[in-house]
Structure 1
């Protein structure tokens, strides 16, 4: 985490720099209604990512 002094130095070097989380919103800005439902995610363990209903987790390989 940056201190206020470090952020001030960054601003002094480049006034137009975009500092993520300070000049922009953080987190996923997509509405929750547009996200894929768990029931639509594959449960095949050979997929790149799959839903594990026993653990209630999406696993990513």
Structure 2
């Protein structure tokens, strides 16, 4: 039954998505972004930093006090 196989795949994908969302930690991503941004290409970096301005802020060097 092909319809049932597709439904099972959708349910599994939904479970994986829920697990993924539960593991996301915005603070950790922002803290690690200065290093992580060096591991992705400029196009991906631009997309993420445009969508999440806190990442662009985290990537800038801290101003001298």
* TM-score normalised by L of structure 1: 0.32
* Bigger proportion of residues as helix: 2
Bigger relative CO (Cα 8 Å, ≥ 6 apart): 2
* TM-score normalised by L of structure 2: 0.31
* Bigger proportion of residues as strand: 1
